[in-house]
Structure 1
C-alpha cells in the first residue's frame, strides 16, 4: 500500500467533508469561513484520496478542522497516518498550541495524539463537542 500526504485545495476537501460528516445537509454546510486561507491536506493511498484535514493558523496556534476519512477506509489507520504527519509538520513549524473541536465520542482517539480534553464543550447540529488541545513546550 503506497501512501502519501499532500497539500491539496479547498475544493478537494469539500466532497469528502460532505460525504463523511454531514451527508444530509447541503454541501454549503461544510464550507468554512477562512477555507480559502487555510491549508488543506489529504492522505492518498494508491493514488486515491482517503482522508482529509484542514489547518487554520492564528497567533502561533493551529486548529485542525474537518478531519475526515471516507467511511470505507475508516478503521484501517488512514486517519492516524494523516494526523501523525500533520502534527509533526505543525510542531516543526514552531506552533505553540494544536487544538480541535472533537466530537465527544472521538475523545479517546485524539488522546492517542497527546491532545487533552478541556472543560469547554458545546453542541452543534445535535452533536456534542469538546475542545481538545496540546500545548507544545
Structure 2
C-alpha cells in the first residue's frame, strides 16, 4: 500500500539523486529554494519511494523533481503523486500548475491534462519543455 505525506525538504534529496542524477554529486539535486517549497513523499511499506516538490508564487504553482526510485518505476507511484499534487493545488486555490518536463516524459504529463508550451531548453544533457495545467 502506498501513502503520500508531506515531508521535510532534505528527505527528497536521496530519491532525487538515485532516480534523476545518479552520476552527479549528491549536492547537485539540492535546490536553492528547497526550504521555501512544499514537498511530498510516497511511501511503500513505510519506505520513502518517490518525491515531488511544489513551489508557489501567488496562485501559480510549479512542481519540480518528480522522482520515483528506479526499481519501483512503472508501478503507478508517479501517477499517485501527481494526482495528490493536483488535488492539493486545487484545495489551495491555485489557478495553474506548471513544470519543466523532460521531453522523453512529456506524455506522462499529458495524461493529467498538461499541455506543451513552445518554451524548450536543454540542461545537464536533457531536453526540456515547459508544460502547463489550468486548474
- When normalised by structure 1's length, the TM-score is 0.96
Distance of 1:80 and 1:95 partners within structure 2: 20
Partner of 2:88: 89
Report the secondary structure of 2:82's partner residue: helix
State the Cα distance separating 1:89 from its structure 2 match: 0.8
Where 2:13 maps in the other structure, the secondary structure is helix
CA distance in 1, matches of 2:100, 2:108: 13
Q: Does 2:44 correspond to 1:40?
A: no
Distance in 1 separating the partners of 2:84 and 2:10: 21
Instruction: Name structure 1 gaps, 5 residues minimum.
Output: none
What residue in structure 2 maps to residue 62 of structure 1?
61
Task: Please state whether the residue corresponding to 1:129 is helix, strand or coil.
Answer: strand
Post-superposition Cα deviations, 1:25-61, rounded to whole Å, max 9, x if no partner, equal 1111111111011111001111111110000011211
Corresponding residue SS for 2:23:
coil
For residues 33 and 96 of structure 1, the distance between their equivalents in structure 2, rounded to whole angstroms, comes to 25
SS at match of 2:34: coil
Deviation at 1:10, TM superposition (A): 1.0
**SS of aligned partner of 1:94:** coil
Q: Match for residue 80 of structure 1?
A: 79
Q: CA RMSD in A?
A: 0.8
Separation in 1, partners of 2:78, 2:66: 8
Residues 111-136 of structure 1, C-alpha deviation per residue, up to 9 Å, x if partnerless? 00111010000000111000000122
The residue number in structure 1 matching 2:134 is 135
State the alpha-carbon separation in 2 of the partners of residues 23 and 69 from structure 1: 13
Counting matched residue pairs gives 135
Task: List runs of 5+ in structure 2 lacking aligned partners.
Answer: none
